[in-house]
Amino acid sequence: MKSKYIPIRFDTHFHRDRVFGWFFFSLFIFPFFTSCGDTQIHWSAEPSSTIAATLDLQERKEVIANTLFEAVLSNKTNEEIDQLLSTHKISLFSVNKRGDTVLGVAIQFRLKERALFLLEKFQCDDHLRHQNKKGESYIYLSAREGYEELIHQIANKCYENNFFDFSDYEFSDLDPIAENGEIAIHVALNGSIAATLNYEYNRGSLEYSFFPFYTKNKNIETFLHTAVRDGRVNIIEWAVRHYCDEGDWEKSDSVWKHWSAWIVSHGWNVWQTDTWNLTTQLINHQNKEDNTALHLAAHFHDIQNIKLLSSCRWTKFRITNEDGNLALQMFLEALDDKVKNHSQEIKEAFVFLVQRETYHRKYFNNIAEDTVDHQNDKKDSSAHIAARLADPYFYTYLKQFANLSLINIDGETPADIFERIQSTIQDF
């Protein structure tokens, strides 16, 4: 499901430059803000009488471990839950068969106000680092449900306790790797959540780091892969703005100005290391099938994600998957070859991808090979694949860029295939 949230970018680049000002800031300014934030907030319980009642027998056995779980999922008030905890001596940290505490259950059943109420009772200790049987932490669950405030509140409990001893504060302790290899950014609901996670990972750090967001799941996929697969466009929007400066590939002058300014201010070696990691470990990283995030966007014909990922100046278009296909070839292979007239949106995505890939011909003619004429493991170029489609639009458009004399494994040129397919269609 595509999120309707508007992504918010937290600009955390100041971490590189705050070494000298941090000490004075913490002594004189930060105490003022923390003192202003000591006001206790009392959260009222949400009407949730239907939740416990609607669970089937099997789910009740897995979710409800004791009367505390029943109360949290019912219409009990927060005061009644407090009384239950004090009189019945039920542990706030008891778990159900799924390994979830009541806090985890409240988050998963989207009881935000109840979750915030329960969180007030937690301290920065191992309980906040709890993982259920799937390895899902409170941060992971909150990111998946889109609860930005919960993420901040959980992080604040540990950050404020260790403000003068950063060695004891690691946000990664609150966002450990789950059983499937994922961390919170893999399931973040929208760009605002991604920005929040980025902020928390870098808060208290004396250097800016991309590395937590390079984490791969068991399918060797980055958060870009999972976001494209799930259709969470806001995540890709945030990533492109944060890492790529969307649109710079069309403004070659601005690219060189940006690079030169960065090199002068941060040093060549640091720039080389950061850029190599960013391009290989995130933007152009390949999963088990050797697909990049752009390959997946092309496969799903997702015009928004195709445009966003193609706009990133770090994106490489010569990367092939396990079938030897570039993103453009994957786009064409995923089309229904029997449809005679595809939608305008599909055609727009195709044209954008072709124009972006042929950009190398315009600016780097002597450096990069033409992606349009790349042949996959079957020796098919993009023109070969387009020629097999009943819709002539794609082949006709590619003719202006493609080498139509290339021969595939069957000894056919794109022109041969196109003529055969179109004559067959006319016969019917």
**Can you give the residue ranges of every domain in the chain?**
52-218, 280-427
* Tokens found for residue 120: 């007030």
358-374 tens-digit pLDDT: 654 544 443 334 688 99
Domain 52-218 CATH class label? mainly alpha
pLDDT at 132: 97
pLDDT at 379: 97
Fold of 280-427: 1.25.40
90-103 tens-digit pLDDT: 889 999 999 999 99
* Same-fold call for 52-218 versus 280-427: yes
pLDDT at 162: 60
pLDDT at 38: 33
Q: What is the 3-state secondary structure of the chain? A: CCCCCCCCCCCCHHHHHCCCCHHHHHHHHHHHHHHHCCCCCCCCCCCCHHHHHHCCHHHHHHHCCCHHHHHHCCCCCHHHHHHHHHHCCCCCCCCCCCCCCHHHHHHHCCCHHHHHHHHCCCCCCHHHHCECCCCCEHHHHHHHHCCHHHHHHHHHHHHHHCCCCHHHCCHHHHCCCCCCCCCHHHHCCCHHHHHHHHHHHHCCCCCCCCHHHHCCCCCCCCHHHHHHHHCCHHHHHHHHHHHHCCCHHHCHHHHHHHHHHHHHHHCHHHHHHHHHHHHHHHHCCCCCCCCCHHHHHHHCCCHHHHHHHHHCCCCCCCCCCCCCCCHHHHHHHCCCCCCCCCCHHHHHHHHHHHHHHCHHHHHCCCCCCCCCCCCCCCCCCHHHHHHCCCCCHHHHHHCCCCCCCCCCCCCCCHHHHHHHHHHHHHHC
pLDDT at 55: 82
Residue pLDDT tens, the chain, 428 long: 444 333 333 333 333 333 334 444 444 443 443 333 333 323 333 444 458 778 888 988 999 989 999 999 998 899 999 999 888 778 899 999 999 999 999 999 999 999 999 999 998 877 899 999 999 999 999 999 999 999 999 999 887 766 555 556 688 889 999 999 999 999 999 999 999 999 998 885 555 455 789 999 999 999 999 999 999 999 999 999 988 864 443 443 444 444 454 444 444 444 445 677 888 899 999 999 999 999 999 999 999 999 999 988 889 999 999 999 999 999 999 999 999 999 999 999 999 989 886 654 544 443 334 688 999 999 999 999 999 999 999 999 999 889 999 999 999 999 999 999 999 887 65
